[in-house]
Amino acid sequence: MNYEEPIFLAAVFLYNVQAFSCDVCGCSLGAFSQGLIPDYTSHFFGLRYNQANFNAEIDHGTTMSAEFSEDRYHRFEMVGRYNAAEKLKVSFFIPYVVNQMNGSEQAVVRSGIGDPTLLLNYRFLKNKMKDSRHYLSAGTGVKFPLGKSNLTDNGELLNRNFQPGSGSFDFLVTASYYFRKEKIGYVMETAYKINTAAKSGYRFGNQFNFSANLNYRLEQKKINWLVYGGLYFEQASRHFDNESVVFNTGGYGMYINAGLQLYFSRIRLSAGIQQPCYQHFYTDNITTLNSKMRMNTDLIIFIGKKKK
């Protein structure tokens, strides 16, 4: 298989993955991308799975017992890319989410179609030298409010972060840079998501992320291996409910990235983890919020003619 020109597409978009009982809202952090996708002229289609875990606790002191919540968020996603032109690529993401909340005050499982995203990516720079190459690309996209954002539990509206959708149109700006020399590559990418207000007046805080990863490629006769590792940073502003700031929302964190990708024939299999090494949520004095290790896996099938 020709694995001559891998490129990290700026196909990153942020999505709401946290929710907590006890009236604690997560900071709606979390991001993922298509990963290192070869720069073939072929299109592709695939399935992806992401999981995130969070723990929250409210300590009321001696007045009453502490409240806690252990929450797990599953995201199953249909992804694809269409090469509209040599430098222009169109990507889509259609999620299905399953949110599990297990707390002292509330135990809920909710699932449904999430908000789909459409992204346009344009490659501005493609340079080849004798033993190295580099790429620069940027993109813009929109998230559509098709997922439900009004689910209830016992007649009360669930935490906004626990809803499958945000109820708002949101916009993205992305950029990525890729450099490779022989078998070693380096990737930097960043994305900024601008959230608008839903009809209810609720608006999630704008979100930013940045990652830097090294990768190593091992080519064999039928299977190509690629291992990567690095750092990932994410930040989210506080939420607003009409003109009021929503307490216990927003924050930032640093994660260690690691993963493996296998390429054979027209198929890519990959798996990766994100381990938090530092995190700070904008919580009050009695609330503690922790993000746990995340995991992701995907299956990508390339369609059409590969680039020679």
Given a cut of 90, whether residue 165 has pLDDT beyond it is yes
Let me know: does 87 contact 122? Beta carbons within 8 Å: yes
Given a cut of 60, whether residue 38 has pLDDT beyond it is no
Cα angle 198-21-281, degrees, rounded to a multiple of 5: 75
Q: How many CA atoms lie within 13 A of 2 on its CB side?
A: 11
Question: Counting Cβ atoms within 10 Å, is residue 277 exposed (0-12), middle (13-18) or buried (19+)?
Answer: exposed
Task: Place 40 in a pLDDT band, splitting at 50, 70 and 90.
Answer: low
Task: Report which of residues 7 and 208 the model is more confident about.
Answer: 208
Which CATH architecture is the domain 6-303 placed in? Beta Barrel (2.40)
- 301 token code pair: 């099938």
Given a cut of 90, whether residue 162 has pLDDT beyond it is no
pTM of the model: 0.87
Close Cβ partners of 25 (under 8 Å, ≥ 6 residues apart): 18, 19, 159, 160, 161, 239, 246, 247, 248, 249
DSSP H or E stretch at residue 297: strand 294-303
Q: What's the confidence (pLDDT) of residue 41?
A: 65
Q: What's the confidence (pLDDT) of residue 306?
A: 54
Given a cut of 50, whether residue 13 has pLDDT beyond it is no
Task: Report which of residues 88 and 306 the model is more confident about.
Answer: 88
Given a cut of 90, whether residue 68 has pLDDT beyond it is no
The dihedrals phi and psi of 177, each to the nearest 5 degrees, come to: -130, 135
Given a cut of 90, whether residue 115 has pLDDT beyond it is yes
- 116 token code pair: 């789909």
Q: What's the confidence (pLDDT) of residue 20?
A: 32
Task: Report which of residues 19 and 290 the model is more confident about.
Answer: 290
Given a cut of 70, whether residue 121 has pLDDT beyond it is yes
Q: Which stretch of 9-13, 164-168, 192-196, 204-208 has the lowest confidence by average pLDDT?
A: 9-13
Let me know: does 84 contact 132? Beta carbons within 8 Å: no
Let me know: does 262 contact 269? Beta carbons within 8 Å: yes
* Average pLDDT rounded to a whole number, residues 154-164: 89
d(CA 188, CA 210) in angstroms, rounded, equals: 7
Q: What's the confidence (pLDDT) of residue 106?
A: 84
Q: What's the confidence (pLDDT) of residue 304?
A: 77
Residue ranges covered by each domain of the chain: 6-303
Q: What's the confidence (pLDDT) of residue 36?
A: 55
d(CA 166, CA 241) in angstroms, rounded, equals: 13
DSSP H or E stretch at residue 78: strand 67-83
* Average pLDDT rounded to a whole number, residues 102-119: 91
Residues 244-260 have pLDDT tens digits of 999 888 999 999 999 99
Given a cut of 80, whether residue 308 has pLDDT beyond it is no
Q: Which stretch of 86-90, 102-106, 169-173 has the lowest confidence by average pLDDT?
A: 102-106
Q: Which stretch of 102-116, 126-140, 168-182, 193-207 has the lowest confidence by average pLDDT?
A: 126-140
Residues 176-189 have pLDDT tens digits of 998 989 899 999 99
Given a cut of 80, whether residue 280 has pLDDT beyond it is yes
Task: Place 296 in a pLDDT band, splitting at 50, 70 and 90.
Answer: very high
Given a cut of 90, whether residue 104 has pLDDT beyond it is no
